[in-house]
Amino acid sequence: MSINSMQEGSETNTPPLLQIKNLNTHFFTNAGVVRAVDGINLNVQKQEIFALVGESGCGKSITARSILRLIPKSGKIVSGSISLDGVNLLELEEKQMRKLRGSVISMVFQEPMSSLNPVYRIGNQIEEILLAHHKEMTKSARKDSVIEILELVGSLLQNNVSIIILLNFLVVCVNG
């Protein structure tokens, strides 16, 4: 599979918020190598909404997982670069990536077993994420952050956030 963005020649001189160059993510199975992502190139500008769509099995989900470096054990990003605000995510140590996940870049899974649970209040679920990534926060500070996050959702583009929709995933890149 090869997915190439139509945005190769951006109309602006501003560097993209997210830039993927020649990304190749492969899986190594008993049956051989599966090239799940094969040479993808794309640019997403700040405050831009970008959607990657395609047939089932074409690599959308693995592209999203590659951005966050959450590839299953049998897979590997074999080449390419993924830059977020000028930083190549593939060159970061895992500890640095963990700091970015959930605070600078996030993914909301749309799979029924992985998505937000409709039985529990959304605020409680967001608070669980904050607790996992910001253990130093007080309960009061987490509550304030939950309220702020929920207010932000209604005005994403006005608050310098880019939304990247990769069919089964929503990847939110927060600027600044």
Q: Is 10 inside a domain boundary? A: no
Q: Are 24 and 131 in contact (CB under 8 A)?
A: no
Q: Looking at residue 137, which CATH number applies to its domain?
A: 3.40.50.300
Q: Is 4 inside a domain boundary? A: no
Helix (H, G, I), strand (E, B) or coil at 170: strand
pTM: 0.62
Q: Is 5 inside a domain boundary? A: no
**Number of domain units in the chain:** 1
Tens-digit pLDDT profile for residues 148-159: 877 766 555 455
Q: Is 8 inside a domain boundary? A: no
Tens-digit pLDDT profile for residues 81-133: 999 989 999 999 999 998 888 778 877 665 555 566 667 787 888 788 788 77
Helix (H, G, I), strand (E, B) or coil at 126: helix
